Protein backbone atom coordinates (compact mmCIF):
# COMPACT_ATOMS: atom_id res chain seq x y z
CA UNK A 1 0.00 0.00 0.00
CA UNK A 2 1.34 3.43 -0.97
CA UNK A 3 1.10 6.06 1.76
CA UNK A 4 -0.84 9.21 0.96
CA UNK A 5 1.31 12.34 0.53
CA UNK A 6 1.89 14.33 3.75
CA UNK A 7 -0.41 17.22 4.55
CA UNK A 8 0.87 20.38 6.20
CA UNK A 9 -2.47 21.80 7.39
CA UNK A 10 -3.53 20.67 10.85
CA UNK A 11 -7.21 20.81 9.97
CA UNK A 12 -7.51 19.34 6.50
CA UNK A 13 -11.24 18.82 6.31
CA UNK A 14 -12.11 22.27 4.97
CA UNK A 15 -9.47 22.37 2.23
CA UNK A 16 -11.33 19.55 0.49
CA UNK A 17 -14.54 21.54 0.17
CA UNK A 18 -15.33 23.49 -3.00
CA UNK A 19 -15.50 27.28 -2.61
CA UNK A 20 -18.92 28.75 -1.91
CA UNK A 21 -20.94 28.83 -5.09
CA UNK A 22 -18.34 26.71 -6.89
CA UNK A 23 -19.22 26.02 -10.50
CA UNK A 24 -15.84 24.79 -11.68
CA UNK A 25 -14.94 21.61 -13.48
CA UNK A 26 -16.27 18.78 -11.27
CA UNK A 27 -13.29 16.54 -12.01
CA UNK A 28 -11.02 19.10 -10.30
CA UNK A 29 -12.97 19.10 -7.03
CA UNK A 30 -12.18 16.68 -4.21
CA UNK A 31 -15.76 16.90 -2.97
CA UNK A 32 -19.10 17.10 -4.79
CA UNK A 33 -19.85 20.68 -5.84
CA UNK A 34 -22.63 21.08 -3.28
CA UNK A 35 -20.56 19.88 -0.30
CA UNK A 36 -20.46 22.24 2.68
CA UNK A 37 -20.35 22.22 6.47
CA UNK A 38 -23.67 23.00 8.14
CA UNK A 39 -24.34 24.71 11.48
CA UNK A 40 -24.13 21.35 13.28
CA UNK A 41 -20.51 20.97 12.07
CA UNK A 42 -21.65 18.09 9.87
CA UNK A 43 -20.75 17.46 6.26
CA UNK A 44 -23.68 18.20 3.97
CA UNK A 45 -24.05 17.15 0.32
CA UNK A 46 -26.93 18.08 -1.94
CA UNK A 47 -28.55 19.86 0.99
CA UNK A 48 -28.59 16.61 3.01
CA UNK A 49 -26.80 16.09 6.32
CA UNK A 50 -24.53 13.04 5.99
CA UNK A 51 -25.11 12.08 9.64
CA UNK A 52 -28.87 12.09 9.11
CA UNK A 53 -28.49 10.08 5.92
CA UNK A 54 -26.70 7.32 7.82
CA UNK A 55 -29.35 7.38 10.53
CA UNK A 56 -31.96 6.74 7.85
CA UNK A 57 -30.13 4.51 5.35
CA UNK A 58 -27.37 2.94 7.53
CA UNK A 59 -23.73 2.51 6.54
CA UNK A 60 -21.65 2.10 4.50
CA UNK A 61 -23.53 4.38 2.15
CA UNK A 62 -22.80 5.74 -1.31
CA UNK A 63 -24.08 9.33 -1.47
CA UNK A 64 -24.45 10.69 -5.03
CA UNK A 65 -24.80 14.41 -5.68
CA UNK A 66 -27.15 14.94 -8.62
CA UNK A 67 -26.03 18.54 -9.19
CA UNK A 68 -22.41 17.49 -9.69
CA UNK A 69 -23.38 14.77 -12.16
CA UNK A 70 -25.54 17.15 -14.18
CA UNK A 71 -22.82 19.80 -14.13
CA UNK A 72 -20.30 17.36 -15.59
CA UNK A 73 -22.70 16.19 -18.29
CA UNK A 74 -23.46 19.77 -19.31
CA UNK A 75 -19.82 20.82 -19.35
CA UNK A 76 -18.87 18.00 -21.71
CA UNK A 77 -21.90 18.59 -23.91
CA UNK A 78 -21.56 22.36 -24.06
CA UNK A 79 -17.77 22.37 -24.51
CA UNK A 80 -17.96 20.28 -27.67
CA UNK A 81 -20.76 22.47 -29.00
CA UNK A 82 -18.57 25.52 -28.33
CA UNK A 83 -15.24 24.27 -29.66
CA UNK A 84 -16.17 21.84 -32.44
CA UNK A 85 -17.60 22.96 -35.76
CA UNK A 86 -19.27 19.66 -36.55
CA UNK A 87 -21.85 17.45 -34.86
CA UNK A 88 -20.90 15.86 -31.53
CA UNK A 89 -22.28 13.29 -29.11
CA UNK A 90 -21.09 12.63 -25.57
CA UNK A 91 -21.61 9.10 -24.23
CA UNK A 92 -21.48 8.14 -20.55
CA UNK A 93 -19.15 5.15 -20.09
CA UNK A 94 -21.48 3.25 -17.81
CA UNK A 95 -18.92 0.65 -16.76
CA UNK A 96 -17.85 3.30 -14.23
CA UNK A 97 -21.24 2.78 -12.54
CA UNK A 98 -24.15 1.22 -14.38
CA UNK A 99 -27.31 2.18 -12.54
CA UNK A 100 -30.84 3.02 -13.69
CA UNK A 101 -30.94 6.47 -12.10
CA UNK A 102 -27.46 7.46 -13.24
CA UNK A 103 -28.13 6.38 -16.82
CA UNK A 104 -31.46 8.19 -16.78
CA UNK A 105 -29.84 11.44 -15.61
CA UNK A 106 -27.10 11.23 -18.25
CA UNK A 107 -29.70 10.51 -20.94
CA UNK A 108 -31.83 13.40 -19.70
CA UNK A 109 -28.85 15.72 -20.20
CA UNK A 110 -28.56 14.61 -23.83
CA UNK A 111 -25.83 12.00 -23.41
CA UNK A 112 -25.80 8.56 -24.94
CA UNK A 113 -24.51 5.48 -23.11
CA UNK A 114 -21.43 3.34 -23.69
CA UNK A 115 -22.07 -0.25 -22.57
CA UNK A 116 -19.81 -3.31 -22.37
CA UNK A 117 -22.11 -6.21 -21.49
CA UNK A 118 -25.62 -7.54 -21.85
CA UNK A 119 -26.36 -6.39 -18.31
CA UNK A 120 -25.31 -2.84 -19.11
CA UNK A 121 -27.38 -2.95 -22.31
CA UNK A 122 -30.43 -4.03 -20.31
CA UNK A 123 -29.82 -1.31 -17.70
CA UNK A 124 -29.52 1.45 -20.30
CA UNK A 125 -32.66 0.32 -22.13
CA UNK A 126 -34.64 0.06 -18.90
CA UNK A 127 -33.47 3.56 -17.98
CA UNK A 128 -35.17 4.84 -21.14
CA UNK A 129 -32.07 5.50 -23.21
CA UNK A 130 -32.74 5.67 -26.95
CA UNK A 131 -31.17 2.58 -28.59
CA UNK A 132 -29.60 4.73 -31.31
CA UNK A 133 -27.56 6.41 -28.55
CA UNK A 134 -26.24 3.16 -27.05
CA UNK A 135 -22.82 1.94 -28.21
CA UNK A 136 -21.80 -1.62 -27.36
CA UNK A 137 -18.12 -2.32 -26.61
CA UNK A 138 -16.20 -5.35 -25.41
CA UNK A 139 -13.31 -7.60 -26.37
CA UNK A 140 -15.25 -10.88 -25.99
CA UNK A 141 -18.91 -10.24 -26.71
CA UNK A 142 -21.06 -13.37 -26.60
CA UNK A 143 -23.40 -14.29 -29.43
CA UNK A 144 -26.35 -13.71 -27.10
CA UNK A 145 -25.12 -10.20 -26.26
CA UNK A 146 -24.61 -9.37 -29.94
CA UNK A 147 -28.09 -10.68 -30.77
CA UNK A 148 -29.49 -8.42 -28.03
CA UNK A 149 -27.65 -5.44 -29.48
CA UNK A 150 -28.74 -6.16 -33.04
CA UNK A 151 -32.37 -6.75 -32.01
CA UNK A 152 -32.57 -3.36 -30.30
CA UNK A 153 -30.70 -1.43 -32.98
CA UNK A 154 -27.59 -0.55 -31.00
CA UNK A 155 -24.30 0.47 -32.60
CA UNK A 156 -21.72 -2.28 -32.09
CA UNK A 157 -18.08 -1.28 -31.65
CA UNK A 158 -16.34 -4.28 -33.22
CA UNK A 159 -13.17 -5.23 -31.40
CA UNK A 160 -11.97 -8.37 -33.20
CA UNK A 161 -12.64 -10.85 -36.00
CA UNK A 162 -15.06 -12.91 -33.91
CA UNK A 163 -17.27 -9.83 -33.54
CA UNK A 164 -17.31 -9.34 -37.30
CA UNK A 165 -17.94 -12.98 -38.16
CA UNK A 166 -20.71 -13.34 -35.58
CA UNK A 167 -22.45 -10.16 -36.70
CA UNK A 168 -22.39 -11.26 -40.34
CA UNK A 169 -24.01 -14.52 -39.26
CA UNK A 170 -26.82 -12.92 -37.23
CA UNK A 171 -27.51 -9.63 -39.05
CA UNK A 172 -30.48 -10.23 -41.31
CA UNK A 173 -33.31 -7.80 -42.04
CA UNK A 174 -31.30 -4.58 -42.05
CA UNK A 175 -27.59 -3.76 -41.81
CA UNK A 176 -26.16 -3.43 -38.30
CA UNK A 177 -24.36 -0.18 -37.52
CA UNK A 178 -20.78 -0.83 -36.47
CA UNK A 179 -17.72 1.14 -35.50
CA UNK A 180 -14.22 -0.35 -35.66
CA UNK A 181 -12.03 -0.15 -32.57
CA UNK A 182 -8.35 0.21 -33.42
CA UNK A 183 -5.28 0.32 -31.19
CA UNK A 184 -3.49 3.62 -31.86
CA UNK A 185 -0.17 2.81 -30.20
CA UNK A 186 -0.32 5.86 -27.90
CA UNK A 187 0.84 5.38 -24.31
CA UNK A 188 0.18 7.64 -21.36
CA UNK A 189 1.29 7.90 -17.74
CA UNK A 190 -1.33 5.98 -15.81
CA UNK A 191 -1.68 2.60 -14.10
CA UNK A 192 -0.67 -0.23 -16.45
CA UNK A 193 -4.02 -1.97 -15.89
CA UNK A 194 -5.91 0.97 -17.36
CA UNK A 195 -3.69 1.70 -20.34
CA UNK A 196 -5.62 0.60 -23.41
CA UNK A 197 -4.12 2.59 -26.27
CA UNK A 198 -0.68 1.00 -26.43
CA UNK A 199 -0.11 -1.80 -28.93
CA UNK A 200 0.22 -4.53 -26.28
CA UNK A 201 -3.44 -4.43 -25.29
CA UNK A 202 -6.29 -6.93 -25.38
CA UNK A 203 -8.54 -4.27 -26.93
CA UNK A 204 -9.03 -3.40 -30.58
CA UNK A 205 -7.63 -4.39 -33.95
CA UNK A 206 -3.89 -4.02 -34.48
CA UNK A 207 -2.99 -1.28 -37.00
CA UNK A 208 -1.53 -3.97 -39.27
CA UNK A 209 -5.04 -5.40 -39.66
CA UNK A 210 -6.68 -2.17 -40.82
CA UNK A 211 -6.68 -2.96 -44.54
CA UNK A 212 -8.06 -6.47 -44.04
CA UNK A 213 -10.79 -5.24 -41.67
CA UNK A 214 -11.90 -2.52 -44.06
CA UNK A 215 -11.92 -5.00 -46.96
CA UNK A 216 -14.10 -7.41 -44.93
CA UNK A 217 -16.56 -4.65 -44.09
CA UNK A 218 -16.74 -3.54 -47.71
CA UNK A 219 -17.45 -7.11 -48.75
CA UNK A 220 -20.29 -7.44 -46.21
CA UNK A 221 -21.80 -3.97 -46.49
CA UNK A 222 -25.23 -5.56 -47.06
CA UNK A 223 -25.17 -6.72 -43.42
CA UNK A 224 -22.74 -4.35 -41.72
CA UNK A 225 -22.71 -0.57 -42.10
CA UNK A 226 -19.42 0.82 -40.87
CA UNK A 227 -20.25 4.31 -39.64
CA UNK A 228 -17.15 5.13 -37.65
CA UNK A 229 -13.83 4.44 -35.99
CA UNK A 230 -12.99 4.23 -32.30
CA UNK A 231 -9.84 4.42 -30.19
CA UNK A 232 -9.25 4.82 -26.47
CA UNK A 233 -5.87 5.47 -24.88
CA UNK A 234 -6.53 4.77 -21.20
CA UNK A 235 -7.99 6.10 -17.99
CA UNK A 236 -7.20 8.59 -15.19
CA UNK A 237 -5.00 10.64 -17.55
CA UNK A 238 -3.71 14.10 -16.60
CA UNK A 239 -1.80 14.78 -19.83
CA UNK A 240 -3.44 16.58 -22.74
CA UNK A 241 -0.77 15.72 -25.31
CA UNK A 242 -1.79 12.05 -25.86
CA UNK A 243 -5.38 13.18 -26.42
CA UNK A 244 -4.11 15.77 -28.86
CA UNK A 245 -2.14 13.10 -30.75
CA UNK A 246 -5.01 10.61 -31.08
CA UNK A 247 -7.22 12.59 -33.54
CA UNK A 248 -4.46 12.69 -36.16
CA UNK A 249 -4.24 8.90 -36.13
CA UNK A 250 -8.01 8.52 -36.33
CA UNK A 251 -8.37 10.92 -39.25
CA UNK A 252 -5.70 9.03 -41.21
CA UNK A 253 -7.68 5.83 -40.68
CA UNK A 254 -10.90 7.62 -41.66
CA UNK A 255 -9.36 8.60 -45.00
CA UNK A 256 -8.25 5.01 -45.56
CA UNK A 257 -11.70 3.66 -44.66
CA UNK A 258 -13.42 6.01 -47.11
CA UNK A 259 -10.99 5.02 -49.85
CA UNK A 260 -12.07 1.42 -49.21
CA UNK A 261 -15.67 2.46 -49.89
CA UNK A 262 -16.90 2.60 -46.30
CA UNK A 263 -19.35 5.36 -45.26
CA UNK A 264 -17.35 6.37 -42.19
CA UNK A 265 -18.48 9.72 -40.78
CA UNK A 266 -18.00 9.28 -37.00
CA UNK A 267 -14.85 9.36 -34.87
CA UNK A 268 -14.92 8.25 -31.25
CA UNK A 269 -11.92 9.36 -29.16
CA UNK A 270 -12.90 7.40 -26.04
CA UNK A 271 -12.53 9.02 -22.65
CA UNK A 272 -9.84 8.90 -20.00
CA UNK A 273 -9.79 12.37 -18.41
CA UNK A 274 -8.58 12.07 -14.82
CA UNK A 275 -10.12 13.35 -11.61
CA UNK A 276 -8.79 14.68 -8.32
CA UNK A 277 -8.51 11.98 -5.65
CA UNK A 278 -5.99 13.86 -3.50
CA UNK A 279 -5.07 17.54 -3.31
CA UNK A 280 -1.84 16.85 -5.21
CA UNK A 281 -3.78 15.66 -8.28
CA UNK A 282 -4.12 18.33 -10.96
CA UNK A 283 -6.19 17.11 -13.92
CA UNK A 284 -7.12 19.39 -16.84
CA UNK A 285 -10.64 20.80 -16.84
CA UNK A 286 -13.38 19.23 -18.93
CA UNK A 287 -13.34 22.31 -21.17
CA UNK A 288 -9.56 22.08 -21.69
CA UNK A 289 -9.84 18.41 -22.59
CA UNK A 290 -12.72 18.99 -25.00
CA UNK A 291 -10.95 21.92 -26.67
CA UNK A 292 -7.80 19.86 -27.14
CA UNK A 293 -9.77 17.10 -28.85
CA UNK A 294 -11.89 19.46 -30.96
CA UNK A 295 -8.93 21.52 -32.14
CA UNK A 296 -6.89 18.43 -33.00
CA UNK A 297 -9.71 16.80 -35.00
CA UNK A 298 -10.36 20.04 -36.86
CA UNK A 299 -6.68 20.51 -37.69
CA UNK A 300 -6.24 16.88 -38.79
CA UNK A 301 -9.29 17.05 -41.04
CA UNK A 302 -8.04 20.27 -42.61
CA UNK A 303 -4.64 18.69 -43.26
CA UNK A 304 -6.24 15.61 -44.84
CA UNK A 305 -8.89 17.51 -46.79
CA UNK A 306 -11.77 15.88 -44.91
CA UNK A 307 -14.94 17.94 -45.50
CA UNK A 308 -17.35 18.21 -43.75
CA UNK A 309 -16.08 17.48 -40.25
CA UNK A 310 -17.01 13.98 -39.03
CA UNK A 311 -19.35 13.51 -36.09
CA UNK A 312 -17.23 13.54 -32.93
CA UNK A 313 -17.99 11.18 -30.05
CA UNK A 314 -16.34 10.74 -26.67
CA UNK A 315 -16.96 8.43 -23.70
CA UNK A 316 -16.22 9.96 -20.28
CA UNK A 317 -16.96 7.73 -17.31
CA UNK A 318 -14.78 8.37 -14.27
CA UNK A 319 -14.71 12.15 -14.82
CA UNK A 320 -18.52 12.25 -14.84
CA UNK A 321 -19.51 9.95 -11.98
CA UNK A 322 -16.34 9.85 -9.86
CA UNK A 323 -16.56 13.34 -8.31
CA UNK A 324 -20.29 13.05 -7.59
CA UNK A 325 -20.05 10.56 -4.76
CA UNK A 326 -18.81 10.17 -1.23
CA UNK A 327 -18.85 6.90 0.69
CA UNK A 328 -19.76 7.26 4.36
CA UNK A 329 -18.66 4.74 7.01
CA UNK A 330 -18.99 4.33 10.75
CA UNK A 331 -15.86 3.90 12.82
CA UNK A 332 -15.52 0.62 14.73
CA UNK A 333 -12.47 -0.79 16.44
CA UNK A 334 -8.95 0.63 16.80
CA UNK A 335 -5.56 -0.98 17.26
CA UNK A 336 -2.32 0.80 18.07
CA UNK A 337 0.98 -0.86 17.24
CA UNK A 338 3.48 1.11 19.37
CA UNK A 339 5.97 3.17 17.37
CA UNK A 340 4.47 1.89 14.09
CA UNK A 341 0.87 2.90 13.43
CA UNK A 342 -2.73 3.06 14.64
CA UNK A 343 -5.36 1.14 12.71
CA UNK A 344 -8.85 2.59 12.62
CA UNK A 345 -11.41 0.11 11.29
CA UNK A 346 -14.62 1.05 9.47
CA UNK A 347 -17.70 -0.99 8.61
CA UNK A 348 -16.77 -1.40 4.94
CA UNK A 349 -13.61 -1.68 2.92
CA UNK A 350 -12.44 -3.65 -0.08
CA UNK A 351 -15.91 -5.03 -0.83
CA UNK A 352 -17.32 -1.53 -1.47
CA UNK A 353 -14.06 0.06 -2.70
CA UNK A 354 -11.63 -2.44 -4.23
CA UNK A 355 -9.47 0.22 -5.90
CA UNK A 356 -6.86 0.67 -3.13
CA UNK A 357 -6.07 -3.04 -2.94
CA UNK A 358 -6.30 -3.46 -6.73
CA UNK A 359 -4.61 -0.33 -8.08
CA UNK A 360 -2.92 1.09 -4.95
CA UNK A 361 -5.29 4.04 -5.40
CA UNK A 362 -5.10 6.99 -3.02
CA UNK A 363 -8.05 8.66 -1.31
CA UNK A 364 -8.69 11.36 1.26
CA UNK A 365 -11.09 11.21 4.20
CA UNK A 366 -12.94 13.62 6.51
CA UNK A 367 -14.86 13.20 9.74
CA UNK A 368 -18.41 13.92 8.61
CA UNK A 369 -19.89 14.41 12.08
CA UNK A 370 -17.09 16.70 13.40
CA UNK A 371 -15.76 18.62 10.42
CA UNK A 372 -13.98 21.35 12.42
CA UNK A 373 -12.16 18.99 14.78
CA UNK A 374 -8.36 19.40 14.52
CA UNK A 375 -6.82 16.71 12.30
CA UNK A 376 -3.88 16.00 14.60
CA UNK A 377 -3.71 12.21 14.41
CA UNK A 378 -2.10 10.00 11.79
CA UNK A 379 -4.00 6.74 11.39
CA UNK A 380 -4.48 3.99 8.83
CA UNK A 381 -8.12 3.52 7.87
CA UNK A 382 -8.66 -0.21 7.50
CA UNK A 383 -11.60 -2.22 6.28
CA UNK A 384 -13.43 -4.96 8.13
CA UNK A 385 -12.58 -7.83 5.81
CA UNK A 386 -10.43 -10.83 6.65
CA UNK A 387 -7.60 -9.66 4.42
CA UNK A 388 -4.44 -7.90 5.63
CA UNK A 389 -4.39 -5.78 2.48
CA UNK A 390 -7.86 -4.39 3.18
CA UNK A 391 -6.64 -0.85 3.83
CA UNK A 392 -8.59 2.11 2.42
CA UNK A 393 -6.22 4.94 3.37
CA UNK A 394 -2.74 4.69 4.86
CA UNK A 395 -1.44 7.55 7.02
CA UNK A 396 -4.64 9.59 6.97
CA UNK A 397 -4.81 12.86 8.91
CA UNK A 398 -7.84 12.76 11.22
CA UNK A 399 -8.95 13.96 14.66
CA UNK A 400 -9.06 11.65 17.63
CA UNK A 401 -11.99 9.38 16.86
CA UNK A 402 -14.31 7.08 18.77
CA UNK A 403 -16.52 4.17 17.84
CA UNK A 404 -19.56 5.50 15.99
CA UNK A 405 -17.89 8.54 14.43
CA UNK A 406 -18.59 8.93 10.72
CA UNK A 407 -15.93 9.08 8.03
CA UNK A 408 -16.60 10.26 4.49
CA UNK A 409 -14.33 9.33 1.59
CA UNK A 410 -14.84 11.55 -1.48
CA UNK A 411 -14.44 10.78 -5.20
CA UNK A 412 -15.83 7.26 -4.89
CA UNK A 413 -18.43 7.31 -7.67
CA UNK A 414 -16.33 5.54 -10.29
CA UNK A 415 -15.48 1.84 -10.08
CA UNK A 416 -16.57 1.44 -6.47
CA UNK A 417 -20.18 0.30 -6.67
CA UNK A 418 -19.54 -1.18 -10.12
CA UNK A 419 -16.64 -3.32 -8.85
CA UNK A 420 -18.12 -4.06 -5.43
CA UNK A 421 -18.20 -7.65 -4.22
CA UNK A 422 -19.63 -9.84 -1.49
CA UNK A 423 -16.23 -10.86 -0.15
CA UNK A 424 -16.66 -12.41 3.29
CA UNK A 425 -20.38 -12.50 2.48
CA UNK A 426 -20.67 -8.79 3.21
CA UNK A 427 -23.82 -7.28 1.65
CA UNK A 428 -23.19 -4.48 -0.83
CA UNK A 429 -24.11 -0.95 0.35
CA UNK A 430 -27.12 1.17 -0.48
CA UNK A 431 -26.80 4.28 -2.64
CA UNK A 432 -28.82 7.47 -2.39
CA UNK A 433 -29.19 10.35 -4.83
CA UNK A 434 -29.24 13.73 -3.09
CA UNK A 435 -30.57 16.99 -4.49
CA UNK A 436 -31.99 20.14 -2.90
CA UNK A 437 -32.29 18.55 0.51
CA UNK A 438 -34.03 15.40 -0.73
CA UNK A 439 -32.52 11.90 -0.71
CA UNK A 440 -33.83 9.09 -2.89
CA UNK A 441 -32.70 5.49 -2.80
CA UNK A 442 -31.17 4.42 -6.14
CA UNK A 443 -29.64 1.16 -4.96
CA UNK A 444 -31.05 -0.74 -2.03
CA UNK A 445 -28.81 -2.33 0.56
CA UNK A 446 -28.37 -6.06 0.11
CA UNK A 447 -29.63 -8.33 2.88
CA UNK A 448 -28.35 -11.68 4.10
CA UNK A 449 -31.24 -13.27 2.24
CA UNK A 450 -30.01 -11.62 -0.96
CA UNK A 451 -26.66 -13.33 -0.47
CA UNK A 452 -28.37 -16.72 -0.57
CA UNK A 453 -30.67 -16.06 -3.54
CA UNK A 454 -28.53 -17.97 -6.00
CA UNK A 455 -27.10 -20.63 -3.69
CA UNK A 456 -28.45 -24.13 -4.26
CA UNK A 457 -28.43 -26.83 -1.61
CA UNK A 458 -28.81 -30.36 -3.01
CA UNK A 459 -31.47 -32.44 -1.27
CA UNK A 460 -28.92 -34.97 -0.07
CA UNK A 461 -27.17 -32.25 1.95
CA UNK A 462 -30.26 -30.96 3.68
CA UNK A 463 -30.52 -31.79 7.33
| 450: in domain | no
The pTM of the full predicted model, rounded to 2 decimals, is: 0.93
Domain with 273 in it: 67-321
**Structural element, H or E, at residue 295:** helix 286-304
pLDDT of residue 78: 98
Same domain, 302 and 435: no
Provide the b/e sequence for 115-144 (b: ≥16 CB within 10 Å): bbbbebbebbbebebebebbbbbbeebeee
| 381: in domain | yes
The residue among 236, 225, 213 whose CA lies nearest residue 284 is 236
Same domain, 164 and 60: no
pLDDT of residue 24: 86
Same domain, 179 and 239: yes
Strands (E), 174-257: 176-181, 224-230
Same domain, 343 and 438: yes
Same domain, 167 and 261: yes
Asked if 314 is an active-site residue, the reply is: no
| 161: in domain | yes
> Angle at Cα 298 formed by Cα 303 and Cα 228, nearest 5°?
95
Same domain, 287 and 346: no
pLDDT of residue 202: 84
| 215: in domain | yes
Mean pLDDT of successive 10-residue stretches along the chain, which has 463 residues:
39 72 84 96 98 98 98 98 98 98 98 98 98 97 97 97 96 89 69 45 88 96 96 89 89 96 96 93 95 96 96 97 98 96 97 96 96 95 97 96 97 98 98 98 98 96 89
pLDDT of residue 196: 45
Same domain, 238 and 305: yes
CATH value at residue 21? 2.40.37.10
d(CA 424, CA 427): 9
d(CA 453, CA 440): 25
| 461: in domain | no
pLDDT of residue 9: 43
Active-site pick, 103, 188, 386, 456: 386
Same domain, 378 and 295: no
| 122: in domain | yes
Count structural domains, the chain: 2
Same domain, 303 and 334: no
What is the length of the chain?
463
Q: Are 330 and 59 a contacting pair, CB within 8 Å?
A: yes
| 462: in domain | no
CATH value at residue 256? 3.20.20.10
Amino acid sequence: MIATPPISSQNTAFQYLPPDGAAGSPNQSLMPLTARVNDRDHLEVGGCDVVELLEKFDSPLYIVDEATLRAGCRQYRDAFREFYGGESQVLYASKAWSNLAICAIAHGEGLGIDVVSGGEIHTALQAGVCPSKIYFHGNNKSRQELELAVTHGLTVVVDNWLDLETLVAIAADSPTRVMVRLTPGIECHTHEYIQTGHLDSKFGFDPNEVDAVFAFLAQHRDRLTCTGLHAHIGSQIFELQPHGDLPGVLVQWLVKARSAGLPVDELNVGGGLGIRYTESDDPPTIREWAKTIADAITAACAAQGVIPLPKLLCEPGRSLIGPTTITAYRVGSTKTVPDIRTYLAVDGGMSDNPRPITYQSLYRVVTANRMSAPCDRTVTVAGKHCESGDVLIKDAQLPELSTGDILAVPATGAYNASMASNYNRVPRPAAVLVSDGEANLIQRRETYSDLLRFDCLPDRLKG
